[in-house]
Structures are given as structure tokens and as C-alpha cells.
Amino acid sequence: GENVEQHPSTLSVQEGDSAVIKCTYSDSASNYFPWYKQELGKGPQLIIDIRSNVGEKKDQRIAVTLNKTAKHFSLHITETQPEDSAVYFCAAIDYKLSFGAGTTVTVRA
Amino acid sequence: EPEVTQTPSHQVTQMGQEVILRCVPISNHLYFYWYRQILGQKVEFLVSFYNNEISEKSEIFDDQFSVERPDGSNFTLKIRSTKLEDSAMYFCASGIGGLYNEQFFGPGTRLTVL
């Protein structure tokens, strides 16, 4: 089955700096890669996704890149703000949603 | 904005007891899911449900687990005889489309088996 690895497990950035989270996946048949943000006491919430026919997607301060050959995909958050502090999960879909282990992002004011 | 809700937020039970975790998906959604997250581990898929039947299930979802949509609004996960290792956060999710569309997650139920 699909195995998603996510790094780093924790990330501390100064407000205004960029944050990058990287994931790899194992199943070349996976073709949809969502990213979820989880705030304290809440369930994961989709923030952006990318499909395998696209190499990059951007939504305001958030961007995702996908390298299907290398089976890598990344989340980039620019101009980080305190409200970006949360746990971020990458995921890949073959027949089910397979999550990475999560990255705890802390934005220092 | 519509949300997925789950009750209870925290359930404590004795090993061997049955528990039912309840979810109210978003009203016009057709696809329903359960996930679990053992403390310090990944969120893991348990089961997906569509058109009143299970569409996919993981190896975790054995005979001790069952799901039901008893009426038009609730979606339940039953664990027949809980084990210590069932202690986890259980998330319900729903979606209007299938697997390649957004899933909306509830806040979770923390299950503690003593």
C-alpha cells in the first residue's frame, strides 16, 4: 500500500519568513495529493491540493509542487503569520487517503 | 458554514465493552469516512461508505468494527469489544464527491480504553 513520509516533524520560523514541508510517497499509481491543516481541538482541514497532471499550484501565500518522477511533493508557505501555526499533513490517494506523520509549524512573532 | 460534528468529544470505556461513536456529516454529502489517530502516530484510514454500503476498508477494520447510517443524518462507528490498542482519536469525514474530492473532517472523538 501507499506509504507517505513527511519532513520535518517540527518547524519553527520567524514571522514573515517562509516554511517548507516535504513529502515523499511510494505508490506511483497515486495521483492526488491534498494538504491538510489541523488546529488545536479541530479536525484536519484541506488547504490546498494538487493532481498528478500539474507540477505546481498556488493559492495566495500557499503553494504546492509535485515531482512525479521523484515521487516528491512539497508545501511552501510564504510570509508566514502567527495564524499559520498548526499541524500540517500531506497525503496521497491510491484507493484511500494515506497521511504523512504531520509537521508542527510554529511561527514566532 | 456547515460542519461535520462528532459526539462524544471524549469517551472512556472498559476493555471488552462496546462503544458507538457518532457523527453527523454535512447534510448534502454522499461519501462518509472514518479515520483514527493513535497518539504520536499517523492518521489512518479505517473505512469509506457510500450508497449505504462499505466501499473500502483497511486491514485495521476487522470484524470488531462496523459502520452504520441508521437514518438520514447520523453515521456511526461501532467497536464491539474494545481493546487497549483501540485507544485513539477517531475522526469522521464526509464529502460531496468521491475520493478525489475534498473530505471535511469532524473534530474527532478521543476514545480511551482502560
Average pLDDT, whole number, for chain A? Answer: 95
The count of CB pairs under 8 A between chains A and B is 48
Determine contact: A50 vs chain B, CB below 8 A.
Answer: no
Closest CA to B34 of B11, B51, B56: B56
Determine contact: A73 vs chain B, CB below 8 A.
Answer: no
- In tens digits, chain B (114 residues) has pLDDT values of 889 999 999 999 999 999 999 999 999 999 999 999 999 889 999 999 999 999 999 999 999 999 999 887 899 999 999 999 999 999 999 999 887 888 999 999 999 999
* Residues lower than pLDDT 50 in chain A: none
At residue B107, what is the residue type?
Answer: P
Residues 6+ apart with CB under 8 A from B1: none
Give residue B44's pLDDT: 95
Which CA distances in Å does B8 have to B22, B60, B90, B104, B109?
7, 22, 11, 18, 6
Give residue A34's pLDDT: 96
Alpha-carbon distance A100 to nearest alpha carbon in chain B (angstroms): 6
Test B107 with A44 for CB contact under 8 angstroms: no
Determine contact: B3 vs chain A, CB below 8 A.
Answer: no
From the list B42, B102, B104, the residue facing A99 with the nearest CB is B42
Alpha-carbon distance B9 to nearest alpha carbon in chain A (angstroms): 10
* Residue that is written with C-alpha cell 508557505 in the block: A77
SS3 A21: strand
Q: Are B87 and B15 in contact (CB under 8 A)?
A: no
Give residue A96's pLDDT: 87
Angle at A102 between CA B35 and CA B111, to 5 degrees: 35
Q: What is the 3-state secondary structure (H, E, C) of A79-99?
A: CCCHHHCEEEEEEEECCCEEE
Q: What is the 3-state secondary structure (H, E, C) of B18-75?
A: CEEEEEECCCCCCEEEEEEECCCCCEEEEEEEECCEEEEECCCCCCCEEEECCCCCCE
Give residue B99's pLDDT: 76
